Amino acid sequence: MGRLTKFAESEAARLPKEVGARLKQLRLKAGLTQTEVASRMCRPGASGKSYVCQIERGYMPELTFNTVMDFLRACETDASAIADIVNAYISRPPALEERTRKQVAEATVGLPLLKQARVIRFDRFYKPKTRRRETPEQEHDRRVRQARVQARAIAWEQRLHRVWNDVLNEEHIGCGDPLAIHLSTYARKVFGALRRTRKTRPVWREKAMAKLDSWADEHKLPPEPFVKMKQAVMVLFAEMALRGELD
């Protein structure tokens, strides 16, 4: 809760930059310097000029509504001068929802645009099938965690697809060949077995891998491409584990 409170406080102290820029325009239109505006706001001296400068930049610690109103009074104008910006700001999603969407988008950085859109769309429209009520903070954490898991799975799938494509090229197998489809499924199964047994005893991994060795025979397919695919996926998995990409 403390983490979210700090976020809310920092957001409350941040004025939309459009408002700061508009206030600067109003000051210039009124023919006033920053020092003159500061004096009219009862903040004379060098510190007053710095105070006005921070407002116009769109950021000022301990910002209050009265500060903006005092600035408008100093420029001899009214709140209608910034009404469009304020209304646009108010019409945005609630601060926590906006923060959640931002972090979900950040989780997809590095993915192709279509994949990014898929993760974001899932986040917007997915409703968990549980009757347990979530607090807003719990929903935020779940959605961000969910987006990160999805983005990571997509990144893994892309790496796996490149390995699959390399093996097809080596074996001169076309992407539309039924054998290629079997190899794609097999590659995912090998990767999944390696993941499931990553932190178990070696004997469990050996058993999982042994079960997959019969895949070619069960489907009456030549075993050589499957052996190469298994080796390629194991190499990929070892590299990813070494780089910490599986954590």
How high is the pLDDT of residue 146?
94
Helix axis angle, 46-57 to 17-29, nearest 10°:
120
Question: Is 13 a residue whose pLDDT tops 60?
Answer: no
Angle at alpha carbon of residue 201, lines to 224 and 145, rounded to 5° = 90
- Please compute the mean of the pLDDT values over residues 59-66 and round it to a whole number: 73
Question: Residue 7 has what pLDDT?
Answer: 38
* CA distance to 34, 157, 203, 204, 247, per residue, from 199 (Å): 63, 21, 11, 10, 11
Q: Which two tokens stand for residue 49?
A: 């000029």
Residue 226 pLDDT > 80: yes
pLDDT for position 10: 47
33 vs 62, higher pLDDT:
33
Mean pLDDT to the nearest integer, 198-210 = 89
Supply the DSSP symbol for 172.
Answer: T
Continuous H helices in the chain: 2-12, 17-29, 34-40, 46-57, 65-74, 83-90, 95-107, 113-125, 136-171, 178-196, 202-212, 215-218, 223-242
Q: Which residue has the higher pLDDT, 61 or 223?
A: 223
Neighbouring CB atoms inside 10 A of 62's CB total 7
Distance CA 165, CA 126 (A): 32
Q: 116-154 pLDDT, tens per residue?
A: 999 999 999 988 876 678 899 999 999 999 999 999 999
Start-to-end CA distance of the chain, whole Å, equals 26
pLDDT for 61: 62
Is residue 7 classed as helix, strand or coil in its secondary structure? Answer: helix
Lowest mean pLDDT among 3-7, 34-38, 127-131, 167-171: 3-7
User: Which position has the higher pLDDT, 1 or 235?
Assistant: 235
Domains of the chain: 2-90 (1.10.260.40), 95-151 (no CATH), 173-242 (no CATH)
Inter-residue contact 187 to 164 (CB < 8 Å): yes
Mean pLDDT computed over every residue of the chain: 88
Backbone angles phi, psi at 14, to 5 degrees: -110, 115
For 17-38, the pLDDT digits (tens) are: 788 899 999 999 999 999 999 9
Predicted TM-score (pTM) of this structure: 0.68
200: left (phi over 0), alpha (psi -120 to 50) or beta: beta
Q: Does the pLDDT of residue 156 top 50, yes or no?
A: yes
62-69 contacts at long range (C-beta below 8 A, 24 or more positions apart): 62/13, 63/12, 63/13, 63/14, 63/15, 68/15, 68/19, 68/23
- Partners of 14 in the beta sheet? 59
